[in-house]
């Protein structure tokens, strides 16, 4: 896994996101700095913060897709302004103090002018917060509300989760996550498009393709073969929603690159990396899924189906699937299972792989083998705690990704969404009329993360059951996938 970011030129259109150019003057339906008295009916207070007896309010008009700030219960010269962020609240237009104003003599409140939430011309998705401070008797500490936005592109919980994820997009990848996570964020966004009718973020498919084509070793390959597979599977989904053969051809190119690293050590299987030091579960599960998916999309193919079956037959008897029907991480040098952690994503990708094999063959044995593994996750007290999907590293008290104590590293925070993506796929193939055998479980994950793991910007943290912490684009990817997994195909 490569977590580090690579640098390539940003899309010129989105340059403002990285540089946070000051003094943006945005005109959508209305222009920035519009008088607040012109606000449309239905504006609402979305966030408040208090400091030294003053209250700062953020007011958003969904109709205008604009917001403004008010300070009340203050004294003359108290200050109020807006901050606006185009990267999910990581940074904002420094020094702009949008709409900055002070309380005049004789009253105890002041209102800023209105500013746009989004920047439509460059598809910039923004967030606002209201800030202020008292000036009497001397400059006091400042306070800001939480970040929030309008309900534009965010009316339902799944649309809001997708829009909050797109706020991290930097024109190439996503702020706070690197190469392999980027492939998974893209997959989560494309699956959202696939299972809803939304095309709001459609442009990201081509942009991510073009801007990352020269990343690492080119054509989405690198020494990390699992990373190559994540990208290849993103291009399979891209092909599904666009019908564009370029993406299918790229997935095929990547599969052929990976298959060079299948050999007879331990009886078969793909190596984790080109260094040929470790045969593990994820790389092989992903390959089965990729090869079977290619077969299902390339008329007349026999090669990829044969590869998918070959790797599955090997994997099934490799020892990595343990006596509980859960999948451990990989093989030791002596070719026995290392019995390492049963990460949720290792229980997930195989479900998607077996569904693709079922589609390729109509052999329902593949679905029953998938069901056995899925049921084992639902029954595992480690992976399903009080009915809620939980990564083994969560709540461990160890310092995890970032400075927080979520206990999972920067790779592991993405795993639960990956599991749900594939459980959803199995559920769709076992069910009909919007109900599969895992529907109740999937609905519970979505409802729990919505209720216990979300802020008012519709950002999701690492723990589905809360508390809310460690928010970044990978935890957001998992949040989005909790909703997508509950949906049935509509295309
Ligand atoms: C403003 O101050 C008054 C008097 O101190 C108090 O009764 C009122 O609740 C305050 N309003 C807000 C919104 O803080
Ligand atoms: C197919 O995708 C490629 C890569 O994003 C793009 O350059 C090309 O224009 C697309 N073709 C069509 C017909 O949309
Ligand atoms: C990428 O794929 C194209 C088309 O197959 C090929 O011509 C090119 O050499 C590949 N580049 C790399 C760096 O693999
Ligand atoms: C699987 O069965 C369906 C329904 O009978 C049929 O349409 C499809 O062609 C079959 N696929 C394969 C690969 O045999
Ligand atoms: C999100 O993940 C990145 C690495 O992918 C890490 O640097 C960052 O600290 C994480 N953010 C949080 C809040 O954990
Ligand atoms: C002077 C100033 O306001 N600096 C802020 C600029 O924005 C970053 C975050 O984007 C803040 O951390 C700085 O304090």
pLDDT tens-digit readout, 246-281: 999 999 999 999 999 999 999 999 999 999 999 999
Residue whose CA is at the smallest distance from ligand 1 atom 8:
73
How many Å lie between the centroid of ligand 6 and the Cα of residue 94? Answer: 6
Confidence of residue 136 (pLDDT cuts 50, 70, 90): confident
pLDDT the model gives residue 16 = 47
Gyration radius from the chain CA atoms: 24
Q: Model confidence over 2-41: pLDDT tens digits?
A: 654 433 333 333 444 444 445 799 999 999 999 999 999 9
Look at residue 183 and tell me whether its pLDDT is greater than 70. Answer: yes
Ligand 2 binding pocket mutation candidate from 246, 250, 251 (most atoms within 8 A of CB): 246
Cβ–ligand 4 contact at 362 (below 6 Å): yes
How many Å lie between the centroid of ligand 3 and the Cα of residue 260? Answer: 16
- The correct answer on CATH 1.50.10.20 for the domain covering 157-484 is yes
Mean pLDDT, range 174-194, rounded to an integer: 97
Confidence of residue 434 (pLDDT cuts 50, 70, 90): confident
How many Å lie between the centroid of ligand 1 and the Cα of residue 71? Answer: 12
**What single string gives the DSSP state of each residue in 462-474?**
S-TTS-----SHH
pLDDT the model gives residue 490 = 63
Cβ–ligand 3 contact at 214 (below 6 Å): no
**Tokens coding 373:** 């593994």
Report the distance separating Cα 279 and Cα 490, nearest Å: 37
- Atom index in ligand 5 nearest the CA of residue 404 equals 14
pLDDT the model gives residue 401 = 75
Q: Model confidence over 298-351: pLDDT tens digits?
A: 999 999 999 999 999 999 999 999 999 999 999 999 999 999 999 999 999 999
Its pTM surpasses 0.75: yes
How many Å is the maximal CA-CA distance in the chain?
A: 85
How many CB atoms within 10 Å of residue 322? 13
Mean pLDDT across the chain, nearest whole number? 93
Ligand 2 binding pocket mutation candidate from 231, 244, 247 (most atoms within 8 A of CB): 244
pLDDT the model gives residue 17 = 47
- Atom index in ligand 5 nearest the CA of residue 401 equals 14
How many Å lie between the centroid of ligand 3 and the Cα of residue 219? Answer: 6
Cβ–ligand 3 contact at 216 (below 6 Å): no
Cβ–ligand 6 contact at 92 (below 6 Å): yes
| Preceding amide of 244 cis, omega within 30 | no
Report the distance separating Cα 331 and Cα 344, nearest Å: 18
pLDDT the model gives residue 406 = 67
pLDDT the model gives residue 15 = 44
Cβ–ligand 6 contact at 91 (below 6 Å): yes
Residue whose CA is at the smallest distance from ligand 3 atom 1:
219
Cβ-Cβ contacts under 8 Å for 232 (sequence gap 6 or more): 220, 250, 251, 254, 255, 258, 290
Mean pLDDT, range 286-295, rounded to an integer: 98
Length of the chain: 491
How many CB atoms within 10 Å of residue 105? 7
Ligand 6 binding pocket mutation candidate from 20, 81, 85, 91 (most atoms within 8 A of CB): 91
Annotated domain spans of the chain: 10-144, 157-484
Q: Model confidence over 413-431: pLDDT tens digits?
A: 999 999 999 999 999 999 8
pLDDT the model gives residue 489 = 80
């Amino acid at each position: 896994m490569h977590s580090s970011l690579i640098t390539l030129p940003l899309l010129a259109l989105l340059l403002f996101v990285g540089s946070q150019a000051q003094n943006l003057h945005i005109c959508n339906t209305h222009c920035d700095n519009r008088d607040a008295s012109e606000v449309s009916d239905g504006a609402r207070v979305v966030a408040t913060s208090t400091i030294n007896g003053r209250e700062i309010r953020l007011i958003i008009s969904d109709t205008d897709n604009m917001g403004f700030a008010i300070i009340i219960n203050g004294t003359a010269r108290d200050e109020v302004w807006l901050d606006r962020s185009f990267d999910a609240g990581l940074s904002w237009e420094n020094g702009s103090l949008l709409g900055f104003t002070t309380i005049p003599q004789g009253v105890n409140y002041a209102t800023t002018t209105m500013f746009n939430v989004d920047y439509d011309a460059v598809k910039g998705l923004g967030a606002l917060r209201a800030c202020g401070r008292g000036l009497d008797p001397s400059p006091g500490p400042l306070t800001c509300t939480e970040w929030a936005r309008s309900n534009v592109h965010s009316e339902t919980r799944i649309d809001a989760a997708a829009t909050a994820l797109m706020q991290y997009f930097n024109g190439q990848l996503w702020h706070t996550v690197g190469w392999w996570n980027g492939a998974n964020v893209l997959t989560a966004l494309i699956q959202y498009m696939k299972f809803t009718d939304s095309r709001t973020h459609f442009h990201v498919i081509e942009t991510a393709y073009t801007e990352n084509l020269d990343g690492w070793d080119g054509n989405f390959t690198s020494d990390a073969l699992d990373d190559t597979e994540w990208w290849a599977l993103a291009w399979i989904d891209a092909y599904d929603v666009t019908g564009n053969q370029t993406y299918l051809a790229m997935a095929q190119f990547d599969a052929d690159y990976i298959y060079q690293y299948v050999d007879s050590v331990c009886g078969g299987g793909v190596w984790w990396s080109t260094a040929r030091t470790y045969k593990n579960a994820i790389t092989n599960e992903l390959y089965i899924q990729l090869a079977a998916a290619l077969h299902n999309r390339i008329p007349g193919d026999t090669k990829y189906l044969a590869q998918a079956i070959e790797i599955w037959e090997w994997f099934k008897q490799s020892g990595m699937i343990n006596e509980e029907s859960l999948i451990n991480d990989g093989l030791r040098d002596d070719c026995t299972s290392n019995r390492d952690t049963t990460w949720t994503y290792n229980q997930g990708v195989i479900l998607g792989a077996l569904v693709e094999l079922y589609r390729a063959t109509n052999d329902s044995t593949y679905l029953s083998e998938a069901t056995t593994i899925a049921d084992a996750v639902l029954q595992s007290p480690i992976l399903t705690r009080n009915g809620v999907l939980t990564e083994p590293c969560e709540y461990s008290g160890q310092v995890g990704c970032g400075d927080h104590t979520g206990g999972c590293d920067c790779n592991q925070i993405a795993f639960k969404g990956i599991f749900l993506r594939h459980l959803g796929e199995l559920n769709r193939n076992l069910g009909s009329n919007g109900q599969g055998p895992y529907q109740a479980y999937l609905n519970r994950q979505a409802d729990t993360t919505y209720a216990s793991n979300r802020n008012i910007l519709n950002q999701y943290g690492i723990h589905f059951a809360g508390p809310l912490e460690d928010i970044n684009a990978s935890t957001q990817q998992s949040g989005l996938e909790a909703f997508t997994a509950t949906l049935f195909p509509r295309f």
